[in-house]
Each structure stands twice: as C-alpha cells, then as structure tokens.
C-alpha cells in the first residue's frame, strides 16, 4: 500500500509523527511518501518538530507559504496534483483543517485517488473560520473519515456522510501526548523567570479571529492582566507580527517567549496551573495533562471538554477571562475522552484492511 501524506502546519507534524511511526512498524508492506507543503516554514514552527519527534524527512518540500489563503491553496493544488500523478499513491492522507489539508484533498479527488482524513467531523459551526471551511469540504470528498469522538461521528452522519466511511478511532494527539510524555523538557530559560511549578498559566494565541481583531487582542491582554497570575506566552509568528503592527503593550505579568518545540511545550503543560488558549490541540492537551482550560474563543469543536466542566469558553471578554483564570475548582480528568493512545495503530490497520478489500 502506498500512501501520500500531505502536511504543512505545526499541529499536522505532531499528528503525522505518530501515524508515520505506525506506518513504519508495518515495514515494506506500506510505503509512505511524505509531502511538506511549506505552509509553516520557520525553524521553530517546522524543523524542530521533525527533529524532536523523529518524523522522517519529507520526500518533497513544496515551500509554499506566506501567501493568502487563495494563493497558497491554489499553488499547493497545482504542485500536489503533479506529485500525485507521478507517485500514483493508493491513498492520500490529510490531517485536520488547514489549507494544506484542503489542497491535498482537492488535488486527490479530481484524480480519483481515495482520501483518508484524520480528525474528521470536527465542527465549530462558525463558517467565518477558514478551518471550518477546510474541514467541511475535506470531509465531504473523503473516502475514509477517522473521527476522534462520537460527537464528530454525529456531525458527519447529520451531514449525510455514509456511516460506512466513518471510523471513530480516538485522537492521535492523545497518542502523541502519551508517547512523548517521558521526554518532556524543561525550557532552559524557565528557572530564570523565577516562577514556581503549578503557579503560572500557559497561554497560546494564534486564531485569525483573535489576531486579526485589534479589539479582541486588546481585550484578551486586558483579561490576562486582570488574572494576576504569571503567564508564559509562546508567541506564534502571526500573533507576533499583528502585535507589532498594533503596538499593543504586553502586561507585566505576561512572559513572552518564542514558539516552543513540542517537548518543552509538553513540560510547561504538565507543570502549569492552568492553560489559556485559542488552539484546538492545546485544549485537548490541557485535558491529557489534567489542567483546566480557559478557551479564548466564542465556541469550540471540543465540546465534550466544556460538558465536563474542564474547559470554559470565555471569548475575548476581559472579565470572563480573568474570572475563569481565578477559578479554583476540583475537576475530574479521569475519563478517556479521546481514546486509549492507540489511535494511529487503528488508523493504519483500517487503511490496510480497506486496501486489501479493494485489491
């Protein structure tokens, strides 16, 4: 079986790390051709993940990044189509909801190559998010849809996706957290900040709905200031450039650092008091590490976390952000909401079974 995998953004490197390892465990019966679109290209947004997570070097790097959604997606489709014609894969594998996901899926479907979509069925029901458009479109042209949760399965069924195409396998990010936990690394600068473990918040901000709105950014930082807790903020390049443009002052309790590798990020997740984020992946990682999550969005795809009371949706309201960050409840993180850490192996087995039925 030959699989052409399309990745391009930070969360996709992390998801692909565990699935590529599961492919490799099958030896020569599976050939994976890894294509990096170049969507994320900075060393600390891309190379570090390949090194730390021991992801095989991409077979192709398309170096397409830095443009608008339309420019990037169009250029990716053109290049990916060429590669798919040349490589003739049995499957095209895409992850999540980025422009690279959609480009891979659109190039494949027109060539009649079956698409496997990991993290299928997620919905925010906010069509202003580029991610929502990418995931809805990808789900509807995929042949095998790997849904992380029962909620995702229900979304797909409601939209008329045939249930024979959908497999609830858990979340590969849960696999990644388990696998790399023992290698978590304290950042070299941590002790210099004079912070105690479990007494600081870890924050990430990168969603366009926040970074592209100077008002929301101002309100979020106001909320972080009101929280009166030391906060570590690894700053995404998009957020950094928007902050520079708006000349917004960073409150004194917020320690801005460069984007981190996965192992340092995991150490901070494991050792913080709570997490405050607009990231999809980091909301789940908060749960894996048993930390409360304050979500800087108006909705989330990971609704089971909100239902459990471990995740509070606060949008960009300074009062709600500060209020939620000051809460000190005892929370329950015991239920395995995202599978047993073997999602990647399940995905690979399902692909192999399906391929043997087809051949």
Residues taking part in catalysis: 206
Count of C-beta atoms within a 10 Å radius of residue 193: 13
Residue 206 Cβ, how far from ligand UDP at the closest point, in Å? 6
Answer yes or no whether residue 285 interacts with ligand UDP by CB under 6 A. yes
Answer yes or no whether residue 262 interacts with ligand UDP by CB under 6 A. yes
Residue 212 Cβ, how far from ligand UDP at the closest point, in Å? 15
Stretch that binds ligand UDP, among 10-18, 78-86, 185-193, 329-337 (CB under 6 A): 10-18
Answer yes or no whether residue 223 interacts with ligand UDP by CB under 6 A. no
Answer yes or no whether residue 281 interacts with ligand UDP by CB under 6 A. yes
Tell me which of 108, 129, 227, 260 binds ligand UDP, using CB under 6 A. 260
Tell me which of 116, 184, 282, 294 binds ligand UDP, using CB under 6 A. 282
Residue 265 Cβ, how far from ligand UDP at the closest point, in Å? 4
DSSP code at position 160: T
**Beta partners for 202?**
232, 275
Answer yes or no whether residue 234 interacts with ligand UDP by CB under 6 A. yes
The dihedral over CA atoms of 75, 80, 81, 84, expressed in degrees to the nearest 10, equals 170
Q: How far, in Å, CA of 2 to CA of 309, rounded?
A: 43
In the numeric block, the tokens 């917020």 are attached to: 254
The dihedral over CA atoms of 260, 266, 269, 271, expressed in degrees to the nearest 10, equals -110
Q: How far, in Å, CA of 129 to CA of 151, rounded?
A: 20
Q: Give the chain's count of helices (H) and strands (E).
A: 15, 13
Tell me which of 259, 315, 339, 341 binds ligand UDP, using CB under 6 A. 259
82-87 contacts: CB < 8 A, separation 24 or more? 83/4, 83/33, 83/35, 84/4, 84/108, 84/111, 84/113, 85/111, 87/2, 87/4, 87/33
Task: For ligand UDP, give the closer residue by CB, 133 or 350.
Answer: 133
Stretch that binds ligand UDP, among 134-142, 150-158, 280-288, 309-317 (CB under 6 A): 280-288
Answer yes or no whether residue 10 interacts with ligand UDP by CB under 6 A. yes
Residue 287 Cβ, how far from ligand UDP at the closest point, in Å? 12
Count of C-beta atoms within a 10 Å radius of residue 213: 15
Task: For ligand UDP, give the closer residue by CB, 84 or 174.
Answer: 174
**Beta partners for 234?**
257
Tell me which of 1, 7, 14, 203 binds ligand UDP, using CB under 6 A. 14
Task: For ligand UDP, give the closer residue by CB, 90 or 132.
Answer: 132
Residues that bind ligand UDP (CB under 6 A): 10-11, 14, 204, 206, 234, 259-260, 262, 265, 279-282, 285
């Amino acid at each position: 079986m030959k699989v052409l995998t399309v990745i391009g953004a930070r969360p996709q490197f992390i998801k692909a790390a565990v699935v590529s390892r599961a492919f490799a465990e099958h030896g020569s019966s599976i050939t994976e051709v890894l294509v990096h679109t170049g969507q994320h290209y900075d060393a600390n947004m891309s190379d570090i993940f390949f090194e730390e997570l021991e992801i095989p070097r991409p077979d192709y790097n398309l170096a397409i990044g830095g443009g608008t959604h339309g420019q990037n997606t169009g250029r990716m489709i053109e290049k990916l189509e060429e590669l798919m014609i040349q490589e003739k894969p049995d499957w095209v594998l895409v992850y999540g909801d980025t422009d690279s996901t959609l480009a891979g899926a659109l190039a494949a479907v027109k060539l009649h190559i079956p698409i496997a979509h990991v993290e299928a069925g997620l919905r925010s029901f906010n069509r202003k998010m580029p991610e929502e458009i990418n995931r809805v479109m990808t789900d509807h042209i995929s042949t095998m849809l790997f849904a992380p949760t029962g909620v995702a399965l229900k979304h797909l069924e409601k939209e008329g996706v045939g249930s024979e195409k959908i497999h609830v396998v858990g979340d590969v990010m849960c696999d990644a957290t388990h696998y790399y936990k023992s290698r978590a690394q304290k950042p070299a600068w941590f002790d210099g900040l004079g912070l105690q473990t479990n007494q600081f918040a870890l924050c990430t901000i990168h969603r366009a709905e926040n970074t592209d709105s100077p008002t929301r950014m101002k309100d979020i930082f106001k909320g972080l200031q009101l929280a009166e807790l030391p906060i570590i903020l690894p700053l995404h390049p998009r957020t950094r450039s928007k902050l520079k443009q708006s000349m917004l002052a960073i409150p004194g309790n917020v320690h801005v650092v460069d984007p981190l590798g996965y192992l340092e990020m995991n150490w901070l997740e494991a050792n913080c008091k709570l997490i405050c984020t607009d990231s999809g992946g980091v909301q789940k990682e908060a749960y894996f590490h048993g930390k409360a999550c304050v979500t800087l969005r108006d909705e989330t795809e990971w609704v089971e976390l909100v239902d459990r009371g471990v995740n509070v949706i606060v949008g960009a309201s300074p009062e709600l952000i500060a209020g939620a960050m000051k809460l000190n409840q005892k929370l329950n993180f015991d239920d395995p909401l995202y599978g047993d850490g073997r999602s990647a192996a399940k995905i690979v087995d399902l692909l192999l079974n399906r391929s043997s039925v087809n051949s």
